[in-house]
Structure 1
Amino acid sequence: MRNLVIFGASNILSDIFDCAIANQLHIKSVVLHHAEAVGERDRSVQERIADLQVFGQTPQLLSFEEFQPQADELYILGPTTPQRSVLASELVQRFGLKFTTLIHPTAYVSPLAKLGQGVFIGANSVIGPGVHLDQHVFVNRGVTVGHDTRVGAFSRLQPGCNLGGLSVIGEAVTVGIGATLIERLVIGDHAFLGAGAVVTGDVAYNSLVVGVPAKFKKLVNQDL
């Protein structure tokens, strides 16, 4: 079994564990780059790791300072927020790491699609022909990406969302749970498309859109 090292943690960590087990990978360690903040409705990394014991897996929980790369390891990011680009850059600069792609065996990825390094594709998702997923795109469960659509680096596609074909999705975009995008759209960098939104027109840089049909709500981050 090949060894998987996960950098950082979020509530999506269990999905990464699930995908690793389904691909017969050994989850070697989870490396935290800062202290974990566990919210009232969250589960800690230790709790999630404990779930793996039934599968004979006991990954180490390491600090950033304790990590040393080994030749037999595969690497992927654990956090899903667009800000994980900072973590990826630091890992490349400090250790020269290259990241693996992790695809659940129940997902379908067209042989005509292109995947950048660090891409994650969850269970029952469909990636159509001509799709291009740039580095560290996170595709959650049950997502459909239509033909010839490009999704920019560090974007995240939440469970059950559907992207029409021939669209261009910018960098660090979030497509919320169950959102639908018609085809031939351009979505600006750092945009946030709310859960259940039906997006029928282009979305500007750094904009939050919600509703059916989706309408502008506010700027996502005033500092961008």
Structure 2
Amino acid sequence: MKNKLLIIGASGHGKVVADIALKMKKWQRIVFLDDDENVTTSMGIEVIGKSNMALELINEYDIIVGVGNNATREMIQTQLEVRGASIPVLIHPSAVVGEQVEIGIGTVIMAGTIINCCTKIGKGSIINTGSTIDHDNCIEDYVHISPGAHLAGAVSIGKGSWLGIGSVVSNNVNITDGSKFGAGAVVVRDITVPGTYVGVPVRRV
């Protein structure tokens, strides 16, 4: 771990990442990279250049990808990993993380989140504000669990999936890679076909 943090992306998600980093008090300096030339600061934090500068700064900074889009976040983080970047895990001080929880690099755990024991969360994922993940869950890489989503025990979420705000997943449900769920979706059975799902209970659209 280094004493400086570089956040790629200075927009909405990047701001929340920065807020968590500030509250963690582990880095002496925090800066952004962003491709919008009109953005010079965000949250009072300096934007020092465009995202393609990250590889030039790889030996100087810990680097986290503050981009909400799962596919984009995966692309950028994979490039950083190949080059040997130091990629931290960010956990808001108010989050509750149980025993024997594994969290992959580049994952961000936001305020008010509860993750119960024996759960595994892959790399580059977003566990968003006020969401809950119960015991023995398996969340694969580059998943986004939106604010206020609730997962019961022994749930499996496939790589690159996105659960919309307020989603609910019943216990022992398996969701395949690349699945997307609308706001307030209720998942009570296994999802074996990738796609977009909405409703109570969900249906594919």
Give the TM-score normalised by structure 1.
Answer: 0.82
Displacement of 1:92 after TM fit?
2.4
Unaligned runs of 5+ in 1: 38-43, 53-57, 218-224
Q: Say whether 1:202 aligns with 2:190.
A: yes
| Paired AA for residue 130 in structure 2 | G
Residue 61 of structure 1 is matched in structure 2 by 48
Residue 150 of structure 1 is matched in structure 2 by 138
Displacement of 1:179 after TM fit?
0.5
What is the aligned-residue identity percentage?
25
Residue 90 of structure 1 is matched in structure 2 by 79
Unaligned runs of 5+ in 2: none
Give the distance between the partners of 1:144 and 1:45, measured in 2 at CA: 34
What's the C-alpha RMSD, in Å, of the aligned pairs?
2.1
Give the distance between the partners of 1:216 and 1:103, measured in 2 at CA: 33
Give the distance between the partners of 1:173 and 1:60, measured in 2 at CA: 30
Do the aligned partners of residues 132 and 23 (structure 1) sit closer, same or farther apart at CA in structure 2, a change above 3 Å counting?
same
* Correspondence list, 1:8-87, <5 A: 8-24=9-25, 25-32=27-34, 35-36=35-36, 45-46=39-40, 49=42, 51-52=43-44, 58-67=45-54, 68-69=56-57, 71=59, 73-83=61-71, 84-87=73-76
Partners of 1:115 and 1:132 within 8 A in 2? yes
Displacement of 1:14 after TM fit?
1.8
| Paired AA for residue 162 in structure 2 | T
Give the TM-score normalised by structure 2.
Answer: 0.89
Displacement of 1:72 after TM fit?
5.5
**Deviation per residue, 1:20-61 (Å, 9 max, x gap):** 1111234532223xx449xxxxxx8546x1x32xxxxx3333
Q: Say whether 1:133 aligns with 2:134.
A: no
Which structure 1 residue ranges, 4+ long, deviate > 3 Å from structure 2? 44-47, 64-67
Secondary structure at the aligned position of 2:5 is classed as strand
